[in-house]
Chain A
Amino acid sequence: EAGVAQSPRYKIIEKRQSVAFWCNPISGHATLYWYQQILGQGPKLLIQFQNNGVVDDSQLPKDRFSAERLKGVDSTLKIQPAKLEDSAVYLCASSTGPMNTEAFFGQGTRLTVV
């Protein structure tokens, strides 16, 4: 079974530029998550999708971050414009559904904003 795929693996941009990350969840997984992990901290949930609907985006900085899940499968996370404090690893995860299901994570995208 293929895992959660993310691209790119690494990205370096200047502040005020825009960037986009892509995630392809495990086939058949209805729930998709985007997390931000700052160095030395645990992952923080940014947004959670159930199929192509948003379940929770309460911690997504909506003035600069946006996310969408096309046709309930792939998802993109965009930052525009980027700030220095956005430097982090962005992790995508998926699970078959809500509640008692196991979450599986991709390798993450390491973003450095200079």
Chain B
Amino acid sequence: KQEVTQIPAALSVPEGENLVLNCSFTDSAIYNLQWFRQDPGKGLTSLLLIQSSQREQTSGRLNASLDKSSGRSTLYIAASQPGDSATYLCAVREGNTDKLIFGTGTRLQVFP
């Protein structure tokens, strides 16, 4: 059974810091991995999608990497801003079942 874990569960940093959020998964047979952002009381916004054949994807200040063989992905946020405060979720699309399986998220707070 696929299990997705995110570390740390919560993170509080001053504005301007570079951050790394971690996501690990137990079954490497995946189609892709997706990073989402969730603001309080809101739905999920897709940030980055990495296909299983790719190593990384970049969008603005965000960079996501994927090491499928070791079951790991990282989301790098450069020069963090208070507006980045949210919960960040990773999800893997299983290769065998096509299910989208989520981690428990990292709650990020960036203070001025």
Contact = CB atoms under 8 A, between A and B. Distances in A.
Interface residues of B, number: 27
Count chain B CB atoms within 10 A of each CB in A43, A99, A100 and give the residue with the most: A43
A88 B44 CA distance: 15
Contacts of B42: 107-108
Interface of B: 4, 6, 31-32, 34, 36, 41-46, 49, 51-52, 89, 91, 93, 97-105
Interface of A: 4, 6, 33, 35, 40-45, 48, 55-56, 91, 93, 98-100, 102-108, 110
Given A99-B93, A100-B32, A102-B34, A45 B43 contact: no
A45 B34 contact: no
Nearest to A3: B43
A4 B43 CA distance: 10
Contact of B89 (A42, A56, A100): A42
A102 B32 CA distance: 9
Nearest to B36: A105
Contacts of B52: 100
Contacts of A41: 104
A42 B104 contact: yes
Given A42-B102, A42-B104, A48-B99, A100 B46 contact: no
A102 B49 contact: yes
Contacts of A44: 102
A103 B46 contact: yes
Contact of A99 (B6, B49, B98, B103): B98
B91 to A, nearest CB: 8
A12 B49 CA distance: 35
Given A100-B51, A107-B42, A43 B102 contact: yes
